[in-house]
Amino acid sequence: MRPPSRHLNSQERGTLLLALLLSGAPCVAQETAKTPPSEQAKELFGRVISNQKRDEETLDLFERVQRVEIRKTGSEATPSEIKVWRLFPTGTGVAKIPLSNDANLSRNEATPAELEKLEKYLSWIAEEGTAQKDAYAKFERKRKERFELIQATHDAFIFTLEGHERRGERSLAKYSLVPNPKYKPTTRNTMLFTKVRGTLWIDEQSLELAKIDGVVTEDVSLALFLAKVYRGSHFMQERYEIAPGVWEPTFEQYDFDGRKYLIPFSIHERTFYTRYKRVGPPKEALGGVRAELGKTGGSRSDP
């Protein structure tokens, strides 16, 4: 029998990250903790959440490079391990193509074998058939679930304006967020909303989410995974305009401590997203991948 993992797997980590990330998705704001939100505030945050959903959909048209720096402790200056991937949207998810750790490498370091694998999938998903429709339907169900979680923050949190800050030439509105004591969670994921608090910054010109900083205020049990994340675990994300009108993550940091199957774990990672480039939906992206295969000497295959 395989021994239990000492770390959260991608599904477990994704569940917690999702809750922390969504805790910064402002659907409604209260101008003070005791004052009901004004109609102007409701309209403002309605636009913010609408932009957030649009950006998530737009992200499915952009490839980017993800660099993950892994540390043994949050205060460690030098990462103990670095992993770099090229993330390429496939219409139903993201293909992760491993790259060298050399930050100076160009976009075209993917091996012909990896590109051929990507081309094969894009060729398949670009076709019209029952299997393709099922794949898209599954992807859309997951997106719908995520958007429903974002919408749940409408009742889950109280947002209070703390002031205004400058980031370069942009003006950001700073809000604190705390769990709404009147909120009644209905799912495992929304239960996590009651155990996180933090701060978020909104770009005042574009009404885009610019930064989220969240912390776990009580131990969080992930009963489905027999795991627990301890109080004090932290998550932060920064977002910038990577194309006209498109805001996406450029940096994430999370420091989680907890246990899984009674075995302690500690996760300290910093993730950088660079080299965003629009590749379009699968049919459009397929042409670019085939052109790249020609440059690398790879073979071409027809749909």
Q: What is the DSSP letter of 204?
A: T
pLDDT the model gives residue 73: 83
- pLDDT given at position 63: 97
- 206, 51 Cβ separation under 8 angstroms: yes
Q: For the whole model, what pTM was predicted? A: 0.83
pLDDT confidence of residue 157: 83
Q: Where are the alpha helices (DSSP H) in the chain?
A: 10-22, 39-59, 112-125, 130-156, 188-191, 282-296
CA distances from 235 to 72, 156, 223, 266, 296 (A): 16, 18, 21, 13, 39
From first to last of its 303 residues, what are the pLDDT tens digits of the chain? 333 334 444 444 545 554 554 444 444 344 444 444 556 666 777 788 888 889 989 999 999 999 999 998 878 889 999 999 999 999 999 999 999 876 454 445 678 899 999 999 999 999 999 999 999 999 999 888 888 877 777 678 888 899 999 999 999 999 998 998 998 888 777 888 888 888 999 999 999 999 999 999 998 886 555 678 889 999 899 999 999 999 999 999 989 888 888 888 888 999 999 999 999 999 999 999 999 998 655 444 443
Degrees (nearest 5) of the Cα angle 144, 246, 39? 70
Buried b / exposed e across 157-170, counting CB within 10 Å, b at 16+? bbbbeeeeeeeeeb
Question: What does each C-alpha distance from 171 to 50, 163, 167, 214 come to in angstroms?
Answer: 20, 11, 6, 21
DSSP symbol at 88: E
pLDDT recorded at residue 42: 66
- Burial tier of 300 (Cβ tally within 10 Å: 0-12, 13-18, 19+): exposed
